[in-house]
């Protein structure tokens, strides 16, 4: 087991090195850099920029160095916990991301909780009551959730929330609470705004998980070991939770590698449509402006979460499914 874990850690380290090179190269692929866009914006405002000032700014931002040296400076800073400096926000990357991270974690943690709490009971019911009226009705609702564009649902719910409940459109709180200290009124304002993006982002995920859980559970319920356990006299409820449901959860445990970065990054399109103060629009803006330290550091953070999530999911799968452990020994 120790040799397996050590091998996985070495593989994770090599994977992160390759990802760091790819992230840096891809960000540098478009012509120009952040300074090019910045100078063009200044000149569009009618302000003349001299050659000496351009050279000074390029040296100040470290853009006068070769790409390999810029990469080494960036990676060395990451290893020491320094995420770099954001050109666009004129702040350290850690401060820029830190301002948006609490709301991002709150929104996406609530969305994940909503998805699991809604999809698991419905998926189990649909599988154990196959082709019943309830199964057909819930499947129809699930197909609607998959077919409805999230941005369209967001616009509809924003309008209905404003008309029915008087909720201000956009954001995760009323405008008067944005810079105010935390209080019960501010928390209540966040709660009144939170349900709309949670419902919008969670609709497609809930519908997809219901379909997957139903299909996996139906496949397990037809296995021979279920027939054998039923012949031994196990009750249907105990049989369901002891054997087939555990086996049907394997794909969801394997999804942990994708779940962790999704919680942090959030839904970019929905966040932009609903003006949510999350990290998704920030990442999109940094990629468009070629703010390499902000975009690169945040993408590397997501890569670390993905790799760690994959490692955790592999360990949990081995604990959940005895067949995986037997296969490893074989």
CA distance 90 to 190: 28
The CATH number of residue 168's host domain is 1.10.3720.10
Helices (H) and strands (E) in the chain, counts: 17, 2
For residue 115, which of 206, 212, 209 has the smallest C-alpha distance? 206
Render pLDDT for 256-273 as a digit per residue (tens, 0 to 9): 667 667 666 657 777 877
- Tell me which residue has tokens 């705004």: 193
Domain boundary among 43, 74, 92: 92
Residue 330 has a pLDDT of 46
131 and 142 housed in the same domain: yes
Residue where a domain stops, chosen among 62, 92, 122: 92
CB 263 within 8 A of CB 278: no
Tokens of 327: 């296969």
Asked if 23 and 296 count as a contact pair (C-beta separation under 8 A), the reply is: yes
Task: Please enumerate in sequence order all residues whose Cβ is within 8 A of that of 213, keeping only pairs 6 or more positions apart, or say none.
Answer: 119, 120, 123, 124, 127, 248, 252
Among candidate residues 51, 67, 92, the one where a domain is terminated: 92
Alpha-carbon torsion angle 17, 18, 24, 25, nearest 10: 150
Q: What is the pLDDT of residues 202-241, one digit of tens each?
A: 887 788 788 888 888 888 888 888 888 888 887 777 878 7
- The Cα 222–Cα 203 span in angstroms is 29
d(CA 182, CA 281): 24
- Tell whether 298 and 220 lie within a shared domain: yes
Do 125 and 253 fall into the same domain? yes
Within this chain, do residues 168 and 294 fall inside the same structural domain, yes or no? yes
- Is residue 83 classed as helix, strand or coil in its secondary structure? coil
Which alpha helices (H) appear in 91-235, and where do they start and end?
93-128, 133-147, 150-165, 184-221, 224-231
**Domain extent at residue 14:** 2-92
- Name the domain count of the chain: 2
pLDDT of 28: 76
Torsion sign (Cα): 292, 83, 17, 263: negative
Q: Is residue 37 within 8 Å of residue 288, measured between CB atoms?
A: no
How are beta strands 91-92 and 85-86 bridged, if at all?
A: antiparallel
Do 192 and 143 have their domain in common?
Answer: yes
3-state SS string over 259-305? Answer: HHHHHHHCCHHHHHHCCCCCHHHHHHHHHHHCCHHHHHHHHHHHHHH
85, 126: one domain: no
CA separation, residue 189 to residues 170, 200, 284 (Å): 12, 18, 27
Question: pLDDT at position 146, please?
Answer: 76
Say whether both 79 and 186 belong to one domain: no
pLDDT for position 298: 81
What pLDDT does 322 receive?
Answer: 63
10 Å CB burial of residue 174 (0-12, 13-18, 19+) is: middle
CA 4, 10, 16, 21 dihedral sign is: negative
Say if residue 235 is in the same domain as residue 325: yes
239 closest CA partner among 144, 165, 128: 128
For 6, residues 6+ apart whose C-beta sits below 8 A from its C-beta are none
Tokens of 51: 């050659």
47 and 117, same domain (yes or no): no
Q: Which residues of the chain have pLDDT under 70?
A: 1, 4, 31-35, 37-38, 41-43, 47-51, 53-54, 56-58, 60-63, 256-257, 259-260, 262-266, 320-330
Q: Are residues 20 and 124 in the same domain?
A: no
Q: Are residues 33 and 103 in the same domain?
A: no
Residues 278 and 322 in one domain: yes
What's the confidence (pLDDT) of residue 325? 57
Measured at the CA of 128, the angle between CA 195 and CA 109, to 5 degrees, comes to 25
**pTM to 2 decimal places:** 0.73
């Amino acid at each position: 087991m120790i040799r397996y874990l050590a091998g996985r850690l070495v593989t994770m380290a090599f994977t992160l090195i390759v990802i760091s090179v790819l992230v840096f190269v891809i960000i540098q692929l478009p012509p120009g850099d952040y300074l090019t866009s910045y100078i063009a914006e200044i000149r569009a405002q009618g302000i003349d920029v001299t050659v000496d000032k351009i050279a000074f700014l390029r040296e100040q931002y470290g853009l006068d160095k070769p790409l390999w040296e810029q990469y080494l400076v960036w990676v060395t800073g990451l290893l020491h916990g320094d995420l770099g400096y954001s050109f666009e926000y004129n702040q350290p990357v850690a401060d820029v991301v830190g301002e948006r991270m609490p709301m991002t974690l709150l929104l996406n943690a609530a969305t994940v909780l909503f998805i699991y709490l809604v999809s698991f009971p419905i998926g189990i019911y649909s599988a154990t009551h196959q082709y019943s009226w309830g199964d057909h009705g819930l499947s129809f609702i699930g197909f609607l959730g998959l077919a409805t564009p999230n941005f369209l649902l967001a616009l509809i719910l924003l309008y209905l929330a404003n008309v029915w409940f008087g909720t201000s459109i956009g954001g995760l709180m009323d405008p008067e609470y944005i810079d105010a200290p935390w209080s019960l009124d501010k928390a209540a304002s966040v709660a009144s705004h939170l349900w709309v993006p949670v419902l919008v982002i969670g609709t497609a995920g809930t519908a997809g998980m219901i379909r997957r859980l139903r299909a996996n559970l139906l496949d397990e319920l037809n296995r021979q070991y279920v027939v054998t356990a039923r012949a031994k006299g196990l009750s249907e409820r105990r049989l369901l939770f002891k054997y087939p449901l555990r086996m049907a959860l394997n794909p969801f445990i394997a999804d942990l590698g994708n779940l962790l970065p999704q919680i942090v990054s959030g839904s970019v399109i929905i966040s932009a449509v609903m003006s949510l103060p999350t990290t998704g629009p920030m990442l999109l803006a940094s990629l468009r402006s070629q703010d390499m330290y902000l975009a690169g550091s945040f993408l590397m953070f997501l890569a670390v979460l993905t790799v760690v999530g994959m490692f955790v999911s592999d360990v949990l799968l081995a604990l959940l499914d005895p067949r995986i452990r037997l296969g490893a020994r074989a």
